[in-house]
Structure 1
Amino acid sequence: MDAKAAAKAVKQGDVSSVYLLYGSEKFQMKEFAEFLEAQLIPKEDRDFALVHMDLGEVPIQTVVEEAETVPFMVQKKLIFVRDTAFFTAAKDNGKVDHRPEALLDYLTDPADYSVIVFMVGQEKLDERKKVVKAVKKSGVALSFMPLGGEELLRWVDKQVKKSGCTLRAGAAEAIVRNAGTGLQALSGEIEKLCLYAGADGAIDVATVDMLVARSTEQNVFALVEDIANLRLDKALGIYYELLKQREEPIKIAALITRQFRIILQVKTLSTQSYSQQQIASQIGVHPYAVKIAGEQARKFQTARLEGILNHLANLDYQMKTGAVDKVLGIELFLLRLGA
């Protein structure tokens, strides 16, 4: 079951006693938690019906005791429980003494007046643990992973329409290019853009570039994109702007190296029939970054990418040993690459 199916079930009155939300996409996880709160608990009851706990501070048996305690002045209560180690293979360095059997016993006969929502900010659960198997069998486990490249653009378009405005051609890509792939940051930038555009207004690429500031990482991402498309003047313009912002040339070189390494990895794995999601998981980047790197990879031969990375390794050594001026070294690299 995915989040959409789970939300539809809740709207139809099919509410589980236990939800296990996990994954690295915390924004969507938070949205689903807020959805449960809105659907299950009236506003006037929330002072008494909402409970927040953390398994890093309290044992699981305390959560069970809270779930078994009859709610005061309300019909149902919602218990949000944050966790990093109880359901995963992560090492638990805390001093809390958890007794998993307490939860296992509870799951055989859960209270009908309590809903427990475990929120785990890890990509994988430890499937070997009995509690994981028991929750999956008795409750609902939902994975919240980063959106794929096209999914992310559709999400941006949907959020913009929800805010009452529209996107012109290329604007969705520009928003992601400038703001990055984090949904929380994207949501904030979309809200700002729609406020600027006004009701029923349209957002174009020029508006995005004017209002959405790029981080150093996103600037380097755009710089490499310009190089891949033989836009040397734009690439140099970004480089000079980074220098004006007092960014360290060695850091800029390291970020350029990282981007070209990603391009080479994506090119190599794509030839082995890996999917976008599989490549993202394999090299530890967002699926949208894999999508863009895949487009860039088609413009370079494998041998060319390996040569660029060797050149960058030599440039890094020369800059750190003082054999070449740092600013000039990167500038010459970009000029040779563009040529």
Structure 2
Amino acid sequence: MSVFNEFEKIKNEGLPQILVIFGEADDMVQELKGQILDFVNFEPTDLSQAYYDLTTTNANLALEELESFPFFSDSRLVILENLVNLTTVKKSVLDEKQLKRFENFLENPSSTTQLVLILHGKLDSRLKVVKKLKSQAYLLEATELKTSELIQYFGQVTLLKKNVLEKIAEKSNDNFSIMKQNIDLVQTYALGREVTTDDVEKVVPKSLQDNIFALTDLIFKGKIDEARELVHDLTLQGEDLIKILAILTNSYRLYLQVKLMQEKRWQEQQQVSFLKIHPYPVKLANQLVRKLSSDFLKKSLLELIQLDFAVKTSVADKAYLFDITLIKLTLKKV
């Protein structure tokens, strides 16, 4: 069950007295933050509600909200963000005395106060206060969604068809925030009409990973001029050669793994399960390496590893070194 399914359950059953939204997937934490604020109809002028970002607010004011009784309503909602003392981040916003006050609240929370904590990071389970929090609170951990969960979630919050969402997920490399941006992009382009997969192809920009697949396809086909031109275009767009090299090396490593699994007659689904990565690059890799030999891929991968070492240790221009290796790879016999 995804974190959004859990949140739907909370909305149906009612907000718990203490809710903790946390996780290292920051885009997911931000999304859940927006959803919780919408759910409680948060309004800064509402005296029964209070929100404090503890990185910019006097912590004593926030703690006073927790310790006080509501004046103008039967209950009070307090939302605290960035109480980093509770996470593995090596920072603090509460001193020892303030942290003890927070711990006292956890030991004896007022029945009229509801608390929502929004934490950007991992809970530090070694801490006594965190152990106490876990025993008292409903924990909602923001973790990266699988492809199927992304498609399910955006299928619920948009009117886009499943095949369109699958294509957007592929081109977004399963990144939640990028997928959200790309959905906004195609919907704006469609101007109210039904979005198609052709719209996605036209509007959603190629990721660097997609461009690297295109580059390797040109290399395998011996198209040196087009390959050099693509690298030149990528650097003009601001991509760093070392980053391109790192992704290219990882891609060749994937190609070799896929080729070895092809030789064992493994199906794509088996390969994905073993590699534990998104099915899309595995599918592309299978198409690219079908007519290549594993020996060719091993030698090519070695060239890239040697290039990485040369770029990091040689005084020669990295663009020159990259270009020389690109020519070698393109001229190498399949």
TM-score normalised by structure 1 residue count: 0.71
Q: Structure 2 matches for 1:241-260, cutoff 5 A? A: 241-243=233-235, 245=237, 247-260=239-252
1:242-300: CA deviation from partner (whole Å, max 9, x where unpaired): 255364544422331244457779999xxxxx9989977xxxxxx54xx4455567658
Q: Give the deviation of 1:220 after TM superposition.
A: 4.2
Contact 1:177/1:218 (CA < 8 Å) preserved in 2?
Answer: no
Contact 2:23/2:119 (CA < 8 Å) preserved in 1?
Answer: yes
1:188-228: CA deviation from partner (whole Å, max 9, x where unpaired): 221221122233413214x223322235x344454367479
Q: Distance in 1 between matches of 2:328 and 2:29?
A: 43
2:180 aligns to what SS in structure 1? helix
Aligned residues: 316
Q: Does 1:199 align with 2:192?
A: yes
Q: Distance in 2 between matches of 1:241 and 1:65?
A: 57
Q: Give the deviation of 1:180 after TM superposition.
A: 4.2
* Larger CA Rg, structure 1 vs 2: 2
Q: Does 1:53 align with 2:52?
A: yes
Match for residue 264 of structure 2?
none
1:290-337: CA deviation from partner (whole Å, max 9, x where unpaired): x44555676588876654332112234556544893463253255247
1:201 aligns to what SS in structure 2? coil
TM-score normalised by structure 2 residue count: 0.72
Which residue of the other structure, out of 321, 325, 328, is the alignment partner of 2:323? 328
Q: Distance in 1 between matches of 2:89 and 2:271?
A: 27
Structural RMSD (CA): 4.3
Q: Structure 2 matches for 1:70-219, cutoff 5 A? A: 70-71=69-70, 73-83=72-82, 85-92=84-91, 96-97=95-96, 99-122=98-121, 124-156=122-154, 158=155, 162-166=157-161, 169=163, 171-205=164-198, 207-215=199-207, 217-219=208-210
Contact 1:17/1:111 (CA < 8 Å) preserved in 2?
Answer: no
Match for residue 5 of structure 2?
4
Contact 1:263/1:296 (CA < 8 Å) preserved in 2?
Answer: no
Q: Distance in 2 between matches of 1:95 and 1:108?
A: 18
Match for residue 65 of structure 2?
66
Match for residue 26 of structure 1?
26
Unaligned runs of 5+ residues in structure 2 are 261-269
Contact 1:29/1:144 (CA < 8 Å) preserved in 2?
Answer: yes
Q: Give the deviation of 1:137 after TM superposition.
A: 1.4
Q: Distance in 2 between matches of 1:94 and 1:301?
A: 57
Q: Does 1:40 align with 2:33?
A: no
Q: Give the deviation of 1:133 after TM superposition.
A: 1.8
Match for residue 223 of structure 1?
214
Q: Give the deviation of 1:103 after TM superposition.
A: 2.6
2:84 aligns to what SS in structure 1? coil
Contact 1:55/1:82 (CA < 8 Å) preserved in 2?
Answer: yes
Q: Distance in 1 between matches of 2:115 and 2:333?
A: 57
Q: Give the deviation of 1:16 after TM superposition.
A: 1.4
Q: Structure 2 matches for 1:277-292, cutoff 5 A? A: 288=278, 291-292=279-280
Q: Give the deviation of 1:72 after TM superposition.
A: 5.0
Q: Distance in 2 between matches of 1:224 and 1:64?
A: 56
Q: Distance in 2 between matches of 1:209 and 1:304?
A: 32
Pair 16,77 (structure 1): closer, same or farther in 2 beyond 3 Å: same
User: Letter of the aligned partner of 1:54 in structure 2?
Assistant: D
